Structure 1
């Protein structure tokens, strides 16, 4: 799990969109896993006589991205609670 991917998904989830440059290290992974989808700029180009919509640097989160995000967050929160309980148990054992 990369923290930068998690941060991008958080921003996309709470703001509605996130700006990611084309040279971002994990962009291909994010698009391959369908976690984010590119928004269209409204401009078109002709490729072989057929119009093709252009996409910009802004992305919106998909349903799969939201599921992936909250699955990781739930796992992280569970681990924090478990470690806190372990530390509290150890401290009560030491100072009893």
Structure 2
């Protein structure tokens, strides 16, 4: 646990970037969830997951370079926000069903 706390303190900017990406993904999902069409709220989640997958593929092919490491970092941020947006859209869909 002490090592985890040390990583979080050392990587404050990374944690803030991930939380900001999650917040933006959830905000866009919420705003699109106000439309009558039930499935339009899933668009940001799928876009974020696809973009994260592209960054993951680019990072994996260039793993030994700094560009590859940066691509893996961006894939982690974008993919995490996409998955959280997907689950948030599913929650919105379940709560609004009556």
For the aligned pair, the TM-score class normalised by the smaller chain equals 0.3 to 0.5
Q: TM-score, normalised by structure 1?
A: 0.37
**Higher strand content, 1 or 2:** 1
Q: Say which one has the larger Rg.
A: 1
Larger relative contact order (CA 8 Å, sep ≥ 6): 2
Q: TM-score, normalised by structure 2?
A: 0.36
